[in-house]
Amino acid sequence: MAISYRAWRDGDDLELLAIWGDPDNYQARYFRSALAVSSAGTPGAPWRRCIVAEDVVDGIAVAVGAGVVYEASLHTERLWAYIEVARDHRRSGIGSTLLRMLRAEASDSPSGVTRLRAKVIGETPGAAFAAFAGLAPIQRSRLVVVQPAALSLPVFGSSDGATGQGEDAGSDIVMDLATGSVELTDVVGRYYSSIHSWDSPGVISMGQVQRQFLDDLTGAHGALVLRARPASAFGAGVAPSRKGRIRAFAISYAEAADPQAAEEDSGPERPTDVFVGHEPDLDPTDAAEAVRDMLSLLAYQHPVMVEMDDSMTALRAAIEPLLAGGKATLAAPDTLIVAE
């Protein structure tokens, strides 16, 4: 082999796709989209350095590998990194050379941040390479499909004291909410920050929350909230004038995070991809109950898919018993977030 290295050029994605073939997993599919022409960093185009490895085949230089390092709009304490090498060129030092070059580029990042992070699938060559490179796991993430009727529906009372079970009961507790709602945006942002102490996103503005989780471009197309029971300031018998605060929320997205895995694990019906969270100020018992009730409503008749980090203790409390009992299944192998 006669390996050389150069900056990424337009058209390299098509050349590499022909060499690489289908991605090894859904994380590789996602991060391939980060491979692009290097950028000095401007609004809407974060700082990025992308390097291509070429081999000479029959006198022609052919791209066989690539690596990228770039700044993130959230979690700015580290840079994202991704490296992929053609299967027949692995274990030849190309990945290590790309990583060394990316680290050199990172030393000149405009933010001054040099530490790297990456996502890998457990027990894969990518995970082994990350460990060899000194990146250690800081979080585990799982894609879980919750089967229909896996949880019994909660019983909600109404403000007049009546009780009932199902989606039509408790209309002052379970509500649809516009994804542009300021109230929803606030709780989503605070929840996201609360579950990411292991890789702080810093201060998240309302605009960032909208762009990352609630904008039409993210695929968000609906939100459901579970509220605390409203109370009247004038005592029993007087209708409350304000809604109860949000206890739990769910945002649905137009497509499942990994359609192929979802189809394989749930049969002909594709699960709806949802982001489920809760008011971070709730005590752990109340948070777990609120999330469980929300999941029971979401998966009442149709399967749903959620991404669950180990830091999401309330969601784990609801889902891990379902995994153990066969009422929920893993849609893909565990993802590890590894970092320096």
Tens of pLDDT, residue by residue over 130-172, are: 999 999 999 999 999 999 999 999 887 655 544 444 444 467 8
Q: What's the CA dihedral at 147, 149, 151, 153 to 10 degrees?
A: 150
Name the least confident of 41-45, 275-279, 295-299: 41-45
Name the residue with higher pLDDT: 334 or 257.
Answer: 334
Q: Is the pLDDT of residue 43 over 80?
A: no
pLDDT digits (tens, 9 = 90+) for 296-311: 999 999 999 999 999 9
Distance separating alpha carbons of residues 55 and 61, to the nearest angstrom = 6
Same fold, 4-134 and 143-332: yes
Please provide residue 44's backbone torsions phi and psi, each rounded to the nearest 5 degrees: 85, -10
Any alpha helices (H) in the chain, and if so which ranges?
12-20, 26-32, 94-106, 125-132, 182-194, 206-209, 259-266, 284-298, 313-324
Q: Is the pLDDT of residue 237 over 60?
A: no
Average the pLDDT over 77-94 and give the result: 96
Residue 324 has a CB neighbour count (10 Å cut-off) of: 9
Average the pLDDT over 266-292 and give the result: 91
Whole-structure pTM value:
0.86
pLDDT band at 73 (very low <50, low <70, confident <90, very high): confident
Three-class secondary structure of residue 91 per DSSP: coil
Q: Is the pLDDT of residue 119 over 80?
A: yes
Q: Are strands 272-278 and 304-309 parallel, antiparallel or unpaired?
A: parallel
- Say what the pLDDT of residue 58 is: 86
Say which CATH architecture domain 143-332 belongs to: 3-Layer(aba) Sandwich (3.40)
Work out the mean pLDDT of the chain and round it to a whole number. 90
Distance separating alpha carbons of residues 281 and 155, to the nearest angstrom = 23
pLDDT digits (tens, 9 = 90+) for 178-213: 999 999 999 999 999 999 999 999 889 999 999 999
- Say what the pLDDT of residue 238 is: 45
Looking at 3.50.50.60, 3.30.1490.100, 3.40.50.10300, 3.40.630.30, the CATH number of the domain 4-134 comes to 3.40.630.30
Q: What's the CA dihedral at 229, 234, 239, 241 to 10 degrees?
A: -80
Q: Would you list the domain boundaries of the chain?
A: 4-134, 143-332
pLDDT > 90 fraction of the chain, expressed in percent and rounded? 78
pLDDT band at 1 (very low <50, low <70, confident <90, very high): confident
User: What residues have CB less than 8 Å from 284, skipping those under 6 apart?
Assistant: 313, 314
- Say what the pLDDT of residue 257 is: 45
- Say what the pLDDT of residue 167 is: 45
